A and B are shown apart, each in its own frame.
Chain A
Amino acid sequence: DGGITQSPKYLFRKEGQNVTLSCEQNLNHDAMYWYRQDPGQGLRLIYYSQIVNDFQKGDIAEGYSVSREKKESFPLTVTSAQKNPTAFYLCASWSGRLGNTIYFGEGSWLTVV
């Protein structure tokens, strides 16, 4: 089935460690996005990418990094510089055609212990 796969679903991180969240899509979409969700809040944009080897910062990029080496993959690294990384992270993708549906993955829960 076509869709967006995020892994792992649950991840625990010790303070000071970097962790990488995976996002893979087989929808042949050009654009991919990372959002963060905190309890009781809406989603906020971390990073986005329109094409391979290109990405831009969103509203809350500090403490995060991304790469886009392949069209289908857009991993997110939560670095030790992120002060409050415990959150739910959602990856999204879009074909690039205006009006088409923006699809989301099932999300990854990151907890700092």
Chain B
Amino acid sequence: AQKVTQAQTEISVVEKEDVTLDCVYETRDTTYYLFWYKQPPSGELVFLIRRNSFDEQNEISGRYSWNFQKSTSSFNFTITASQVVDSAVYFCALSGGGGGTSYGKLTFGQGTILTVHP
């Protein structure tokens, strides 16, 4: 069975601080995908990044960066110089890389509520 754990339930920071959201996953699949989604107060899930299990290259996109380490089964997300607009719930998710609909069958972590204060 697949499992995703986001140990941080809530994080509160002051604007311009850097913040890292932790994600640890469990899977027996050799091919899998990891995702981060952002859920603002309006409710929709906004896609941020996707990584497959064969691509451990870390990525930076503007103020966002991701650290994928298969050795520790972790896929952490960092926001540099946080802003009030970053306040949201952030979800880490895992899917299988097999055929059929397994890719879209996401296993979500419980989410981390990030609050950025001005």
Q: A-side interface residues toward B, CB under 8 Å? A: 31, 33, 35, 40-45, 48-50, 56, 58, 88, 90, 92-94, 98-99, 101-107, 109
Contact = CB atoms under 8 A, between A and B. Distances in A.
B101 A42 contact: no
A94 B33 CA distance: 14
Contacts of B91: 42-43
B44 A105 contact: yes
Contacts of A103: 47
A33 B110 contact: no
Residue of A88, A102, A109 with most chain B CB atoms under a 10 A cut-off: A102
B43 interface: yes
Contacts of B100: 50
11 contacts: A33-B101, A33-B105, A35-B106, A40-B111, A48-B101, A92-B45, A92-B106, A94-B103, A99-B33, A102-B47, A104-B45
Q: Please report whether the interface of chain A is mostly helix, strand, loop or mixed according to DSSP.
A: strand
A41 B110 contact: yes
Interface in B93-114: 93, 95, 97, 99-101, 103-106, 108-111
Range, interface on chain B = 20 to 34
B101 A99 contact: no
B101 A50 contact: yes
Contacts of B4: 42
Interface of B: 4, 9, 33, 35, 37, 42-45, 47, 50, 52, 91, 93, 95, 97, 99-101, 103-106, 108-111
A41 B89 CA distance: 11
Nearest to B9: A40
Contacts of B110: 40-42
Contacts of B99: 98
B43 A88 contact: yes
